[in-house]
Amino acid sequence: MRVSDQPDLVISRDDTCDICLTGVTESECDKYPAKQHARRVATKLGAGGGLLYLAGKASVNWGDSDQPRPFRQRRYFYYLSGVDEADCYLTYDIRNDRLTLYIPNFSLHHAVWMGPTLTADEARQRYDVDRVRYYDALQGDLVSWVDRYNKDGPVYILHSAQAPDIPTEGLWLDDESLLPAMDAARGVKDEYEIRMIREANRISGLAHRKVLENIHRISNEREIEGLFLGTCVSQGAKNQAYEIIAGSGPNAAVLHYVKNNEPLSGRQLVCLDAGAEWNCYASDVTRTIPLGRDWPSKYAKDIYALVEEMQEECIRRVRQGVRFRELYELAHAIAIKGLQRLGILNDGSVEEIRQSGASSIFFPHGLGHHVGLEVHDVSERPITASSSGNGQPQSEFVPEMSTPLLQEGMVITIEPGVYFNKLALENARTLSLAKYINFEQAERYIPVGGVRIEDDLLVTRTGYENLTTAPKGEAMWEIIRRFEMS
Ligand code: GLY
Ligand code: MN
C-alpha cells in the first residue's frame, strides 16, 4: 500500500502493513501494476463476485530430451501478476479484491541444479499481490473458496483446459468470459506498460543502429542477425519479441523470412524486421537498408520513397478517434497511385484497382497491429482485417463502420510495405485482376525484393508519440555513409 493512497488511515501498534515511500527503493515502489490490472479485468467482466484462476507456464523439456525449453511466461498470467517465473498460479477473488500468487514449493534438487526458486518473502517484496502462498496450499484454498463463495460467482478460467484441479461436481465454472475481458483490458496500455515498450524500442533502436554502422562490412544475412541479437543481449534484453527477419534481395519479399543465411553479394536492399523484448513487452521495428553507399538502383529508390510516403502519411493522421481501417485504405490508395506512376499498375481508377485486389499483390498484409505483451497484441476487437499474407487478395472488404477507433493509450504499429514476390506475381497472372498489372514492368522490380518500414506509436488524445528510435530515411543514410568512410 502507498501511504498517500489512504490519507485517513490510522495504524495501530498491532497492524502489519507494507509501507512504500516513493523514491526510497526502486524495487519496492516500481512493481508491475498487477493489482490494478486485476481490478481492470474485473470491471471489464462486469462481475461483483467470482474468482479468477490462472495457471502460469510450467517448466517443460523439449520432446525426447532432458533439456529445458526456453521459458516464456503466459502473457495473460503475466498481465495479472508481473511474474516471469515458471510453475506459478494465481487467483483473484473479485468480491474481496484479493490477489494471491502461488509459487513452487522449495526443491533442493532445483536449487542445486538451477538455483533456488523464489521464497514467499522475496515474492511479496517483488510483486504487487496481496498474498503469496506455496503451491501446497493451492488446492485447499480453492476448495475453501468454492465452499464459501461459489454460489455468488463462478471460477473464471481462460480455457476449458485450464480448469483447477479440484472436484468439479457442482462447480460453477465460466470458461468463456475471462478471455474477452482480458483482451479488452490489455488493448489500452497504462503508464508502466508504455515504459516497458519504450525501453524495448530504445534497445531495438541501438541494435538497428549497430547494424547500419557495420552494414558496409557485412557479407551475409546471418551476420546481421548475429549483430542485432548480440547488441540486444548485451543491453540486457535476452529475448526477442519475435524471430529476426533479415531478408536481402528477393528474400525481402517473403514476409516472415527467418532463414537469414544468404550472402548479400549482388543484393540491393535488406529488410530487417527485428525487435527486442523488455520485461515481457515487445517492440516491433522494421527498417529496409540499402546495400552500398548510394541507392543501388532507381527501382529501389522509388519503392523506398513510396513506402516512406505511405508510412509518413498514415503516421501523421494517428490520434484518438481515428478509424485505423481508414489509414489502411489510405496506404493502399497511396500505393496504387505510386505504382501507377511507376507503370506497374494501369488501366483503372484507384477505386477499381483497390476493389480488384491488385494492390494486395504488392501490399499483402495489414497496416499494423497492437503491440504489448505480444508483438501482435490482443485487444477487444482487431483494429484492422487480418492479412492472408500469401499474395492473394485478402477478404478485407469488411464494412467500414464495424472496425474500431483508435483510443488514447493504445500502442500500434504502422508498417506499410511494397513487395515484388515472384510467386505472387506468377499467380496473379491467372487472376482477373491481372488486367491492372503490367507484369513486364513489375518483374523489373523483383531484384529489389521489397521495402517495409515499421514504427510503434503510442496513440494520444491529440496525436501520437513515436516510440521507435531506429534511424530511417536520411538519418539512416547519414550513418551508413559516415561509417563506410571511417
Ligand atoms: N514484425 C513482425 C510482424 O509484425 O509480423
Ligand atoms: Mn509488425
pLDDT tens for 72-111 read 999 999 999 999 999 999 999 999 999 999 999 998 888 8
Q: Measure the CA–CA gap between 251 and 222, rounded to whole angstroms.
A: 13
Tell me the pLDDT tens digit for each residue of 284-331: 999 999 999 999 999 999 999 999 999 999 999 999 999 999 999 999
Tell me the pLDDT tens digit for each residue of 221-233: 999 999 999 999 9
- Average pLDDT for 333-356: 98
Residue among 284, 251, 285 nearest 270 (CA)? 251
For residue 379, what is its C-alpha cell? 485487444
Residue 102: C-alpha distances to residues 16, 54, 77 (Å): 21, 10, 12
Q: Identify the pLDDT of residue 117.
A: 86
Q: Measure the CA–CA gap between 411 and 407, rounded to whole angstroms.
A: 9
For residue 216, what is its C-alpha cell? 558496409
Grid cell 482480458 in the structure block, residue? 182
Q: How far is the CA of 199 from the centre of ligand 1 (A)?
A: 18
Q: How far is the CA of 386 from the centre of ligand 2 (A)?
A: 12
Q: Any idea which ligand is nearest the CA of 204?
A: 1
Q: Measured from the CA of 369, which atom of ligand 1 is nearest?
A: 4
Does ligand 1 come within 6 angstroms of the Cβ of 284? yes
The gap between the terminal CA atoms of the chain, to the nearest Å, is 55
Q: Measure the CA–CA gap between 117 and 58, rounded to whole angstroms.
A: 13
Does ligand 1 come within 6 angstroms of the Cβ of 455? no
For residue 447, what is its C-alpha cell? 531484384
Residues less than 5 Å from ion ligand 2, measured at CB:
284, 413, 415
Q: Measured from the CA of 273, which atom of ligand 1 is nearest?
A: 1
Q: Cβ contacts of residue 378 below 8 Å, gap of 6+? A: 182, 183, 186, 187, 370, 372
Q: Is the dihedral of CA 313, 318, 322, 323 positive or negative?
A: positive
Could you tell me if 484 and 293 are in contact, meaning their C-beta atoms sit under 8 angstroms apart?
yes
Q: Identify the pLDDT of residue 445.
A: 98
Does ligand 1 come within 6 angstroms of the Cβ of 257? no
Does this model's pTM top 0.75?
Answer: yes
